[in-house]
Structure 1
Amino acid sequence: MVTTEIPIAREAQLFNGSNFHVFIYTKTESLSGLHQHDYYEFTLVLTGRYYQEIDRQRVLLERGDFVFIPVGSQHQSFYIAGATRILNVGISKRFFEKNFSPFIPIDFSATQAYAIENSFLAYIESVITSRHFRENEFDEFIELVCFYVTNRLRHYRDDAIKDSVPFWLKITVEAMHDKLAFGDAALERMVQISGKSQEYLTRATQRYYGKTPMQIINNIRINFAKKQLEITNASVTDIAYESGYSSPSLFIKKFKSITSFTPNNYRKKINGCNNF
């Protein structure tokens, strides 16, 4: 039997003496394959969705989700749903164990996705899209995000335990990420896919996701639009129609209500944001 040695990404080669190793980038494929670290790491999804395989268990991450990967966990990424923009933070083993170890619960599981609050996600996005953010301030910001993430791990089980999402509803929401589904007549299509009445579907989405079907559709549309603004040169008008909106003005209004940016301002900020 042949045993394949798992590559190790080492802090000494990447951190250059710093406490953090940070990347903000849009990915369509994994270049590293299955590997492990001698440092701690978390990855937060800013736009899109992808799978992270951790210790042989595959986890789906969507916007606002993160995984925390401790030293030695074997993992790799799968970008089968297209381009995904992520914030990836490596934390020095020494720095983490000095400052954050007490936050990690005894029963912590690396093989699951954790969600952050929308308000904190909006704060993160506002910081990383700022062109005038100084390097020393960025270090302070990353330390704050690390504190939030590790504290989230500790309090995750303190949340009210939600009912398991029914399989039919998971499949319905998954299917709505297809462009053919979230285009024209998206709500009617969602009802059709679910096999339920609109009233029943609405009660289910509000119970399990805290959103109406139309809110879920708009989130999917805007998430798609953000990816197009990030990775293409298509006009706002073209992206509006491609995202399923009947007019550019409606698209701009909805985009701003969800992201706090106009599409053009979002594109300018993303294009001006460098990797760290």
Structure 2
Amino acid sequence: MDNTRRKFLKIAGAAALAGMSAPAIVKLTSHTAFASEDAGHATPAHGEAGAHGEPVSTGVRLGMVIDMRVFAVQPMLLDQAIAACNKVHNIPHFTDRKNEIKWIWKAPYANVFPEQETLHKSEMAKTKPFAVLCNHCDNPSCVRVCPTKATFVQPENGIVGMDFHRCIGCRFCMAACPYGARSFNWQDPRPFITNYNPDFPTRMRGVVEKCNFCGERLALGLEPACVEACKGTGAMVFGDLNDPASEIRGVLDKEFTIQRNPAAGTRPSVYYIV
């Protein structure tokens, strides 16, 4: 990884960690952040101070492109990405699917893109599993319904974060998410962690969790675990959607991509090449 990219990831990650300890709900645009508690008050972006100390947008919006063509020809690659995420984030292994905790997982095309269903589909769409994770939406419905601000948009980078200590387990966020990207701990997950990572906190019974775009790794200048597991293949590209010079923007400019359920109006930050 070149130094410029590593520096960018460190800055984005440090902002992510800061947001985990002091969550705030904001509505982001490319240039302005609006504090949700005062919808009529706009604060300037690009690091300027808000009138009441609200976090303001830096103009960075992190996102991901998933190239399913690569996963189709290298099916084990998706398993590697899932395993890397599970190991880093202490995802428990439950044999009963109703207790399953998922940050990144496999799902059939018909479930991932029900609005894209057509009579004539490619062989990949018919038979290959698709990678699914939190979309880190620019207009997340989960954030709007959370009564404790346990889930929030980090104004520094657009990541939809989670504060496990604030979560009261009401599951409003799960009901509001149109993508099924959140999991609920019906029982204590800790006895079911097979490969414990001391660098990431475990959760408890009654808490919701989801993908965090590896904010803790970004703070160290590292890429998300799933992206690193696919390094050099182009299966997953991660970066700043608002930077015209970024790798991810180059991919989006060149390739035709689709997003999950755009009619929901949440503006996902995850794109798919199919």
Would you call these one fold, judging by a TM-score over 0.5? no
Computing the radius of gyration from Cα coordinates, the structure with the larger value is 1
Identify which of structures 1 and 2 has the higher relative contact order when contacts are C-alpha pairs closer than 8 Å and 6+ apart. 2
Bigger helix fraction: 1
TM-score normalised by L of structure 2: 0.25
